[in-house]
């Protein structure tokens, strides 16, 4: 039963990944096609492509007609500028890390680096308790 669930979940994830990849590739192809037609190109080649033996397909390219930056800028034009909010994953108080010593040195105050004035900096005892 568990193995069947894993197979089904894996198949669903594979299918979803394939759909997402195909949607992204379609969007890239549309932008590349539009830019290539506008520039009067008759062919666009992926210079990062590799052969079946993992060797480069393009051995030399001077980069004069490289559309990469323009395509990326067009694809990113509609992207959100702020990160998409996710679930609050703030660690529990016991898991929270203390700020690094001196992490607030850029501010005008060194608050947090010295003990409170009523405490002896060496022993940590209240100054009243020193003679006890």
Q: Which residues of the chain have pLDDT under 70?
A: 88-132
**pLDDT at position 68, please?**
92
Looking at residue 95, its pLDDT comes to 56
CB crowding 20-45: b at 16 or more within 10 Å, else e: eeeeeeeeeeebbeeebeeeeeeeee
Q: What is the largest CA-CA distance in the chain?
A: 91
Q: What is residue 106's predicted lDDT score, i.e. its pLDDT? A: 43
pLDDT at position 39: 92
Q: 3-state DSSP call for residue 126? A: strand
pLDDT at 109: 38
* Token code pair at residue 92: 């529990």
């Amino acid at each position: 039963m568990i193995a069947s669930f894993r197979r089904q979940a894996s198949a669903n994830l594979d299918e979803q990944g394939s759909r997402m990849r195909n949607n992204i590739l379609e969007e890239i192809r549309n932008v590349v096609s539009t830019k290539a037609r506008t520039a009067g190109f008759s062919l666009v080649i992926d210079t990062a492509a590799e052969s079946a033996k993992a060797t480069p397909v393009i051995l030399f390219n001077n980069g004069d007609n490289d559309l990469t930056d323009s395509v990326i800028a067009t694809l990113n034009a509609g992207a959100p500028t702020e990160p998409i909010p996710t679930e609050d994953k703030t660690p529990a108080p016991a898991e929270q890390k203390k700020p690094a010593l001196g992490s607030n040195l850029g501010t005008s105050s060194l608050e947090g680096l010295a003990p409170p004035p009523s405490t002896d900096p060496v022993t940590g005892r209240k100054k009243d308790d020193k003679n006890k």
